[in-house]
Chains A and B, each alone.
Chain A
């Protein structure tokens, strides 16, 4: 099992540029989550999908953020245009289903720096 795969691991770009983060969940997992981690706010849920359908995007900070899941094996989180305050570590996680015995499996994260 390859685990949740995120790319890139690190991204440095200038303010105003478009940023696309990618995630491949564990095969067979029905739920996919995008999180953001900052020193000030800790971990926050941005959006989650069930069977490729966005269920709750109330954590998406602004219209500059968008997420898609075109199929069961791929999701993207896009920021356009990026701003310095978007600098954070972005994690993708997946789980087989909901329930007390189904943990979320996290990717290694993408460390994003907006200059």
Chain B
């Protein structure tokens, strides 16, 4: 069983819809990352969080440490949000250095 599970694997939505991508993990962590990978392949770090919630523009990330679960929300989705979103955790036993990645959620926003 993967230590990091993401759902859904693929998501297609209409422009303007509210998007939620979920990430569950099975071990103790020191931090959780949300990454965005565009069709061209580049990877951008969106959020790092260890508790609570963070917001950047239309993106919101939340984490519940007790439930070992995080969500990434996109409000008023736009075609340019189409990308693969990857959840990664820094395992507590290794500190913040070593990331274990989910398999990603491929998001497609249709105009």
Distance A40 CA – B86 CA, assembled complex (angstroms): 15
Q: Is the interface of A mostly helix, strand, loop or mixed?
A: strand
Please classify how large the interface on chain A is, using the bins under 10, 10 to 19, 20 to 34, 35 or more. 20 to 34
Chain A residues 16 to 54 lying within 8 A of chain B, measured CB to CB, are 31, 42-45, 48, 50
CB of A103 within 8 A of CB of B88, answer no
Distance A99 CA – B50 CA, assembled complex (angstroms): 10
B residues less than 8 Å from A103 (CB atoms): 33, 45, 48
A residues less than 8 Å from B102 (CB atoms): 42
A108 at interface, CB cutoff 8 A: yes
The stretch that binds A, out of B15-23, B66-74, B93-101, is B93-101
Chain A minimum-CB-distance residue to B96: A98
Closest 5 CB pairs of A and B: A103-B45, A106-B43, A98-B96, A43-B101, A100-B50
Query: Interface residues of B, CB < 8 Å — how many?
Result: 26
Chain B residues 30 to 65 lying within 8 A of chain A, measured CB to CB, are 30-31, 33, 35, 40-45, 48-50
Chain A residues 61 to 115 lying within 8 A of chain B, measured CB to CB, are 89, 91, 93, 98-106, 108-109, 111
A residues less than 8 Å from B7 (CB atoms): none
CB of B88 within 8 A of CB of A102, answer no
- The smallest C-beta distance from B108 to any residue of chain A, in angstroms, reads 18
Chain B minimum-CB-distance residue to A48: B97
Measured CB to CB, the residues of B under 8 A from A are 30-31, 33, 35, 40-45, 48-50, 86, 88, 94-104
A residues less than 8 Å from B96 (CB atoms): 98-100
CB of A45 within 8 A of CB of B99, answer yes
- The smallest C-beta distance from A3 to any residue of chain B, in angstroms, reads 10
Distance A76 CA – B21 CA, assembled complex (angstroms): 35
Known contacts A101-B48, A102-B48: A108-B97 contact under CB 8 Å: no
